Amino acid sequence: MQSTMKVSMQPRIGLEESIQIMELNVPTHGLSTLAVGIFNVCLGNVKEASKVFQQFAAYHHDLGSDATYEMGTDLEWRLASFGAPYLSEYGESLKFLSMG
């Protein structure tokens, strides 16, 4: 008896597609809002990132708060669990935009 394994090749999505999916949850879902802001920073969409971070601060937490740091840590863990490439490439150099 021959066994055949069917491999599903799911299309990979990038940051732009991820933003489109999560934007439906902005600004009411905190983790989605934070992720959309960070992904916009990664894409160089500074104005859009600033707008999203302002919404995050208005609906959830100050960007410099411990709660936001914990959400960022959770987001990093979730991305790592998906095998996201280049996860630690920015290291300590990545800083949030100034909201002032």
Instruction: Check pLDDT > 90 for residue 70.
Output: yes
**Residue with more model confidence, 77 or 59:** 59
pTM of the model: 0.72
How many other CB atoms sit within 10 Å of the CB of residue 5?
4
The first and second tokens of residue 86, run together, are 């280049």
Say what the pLDDT of residue 78 is.
86
Instruction: Check pLDDT > 50 for residue 11.
Output: yes
In whole angstroms, what is the distance from residue 29 CA to residue 33 CA? 6
* Mean pLDDT value across residues 7-12: 57
Could you state, in order of their start, the residue ranges of all structural domains in the chain?
15-82
* Mean pLDDT value across residues 48-54: 96
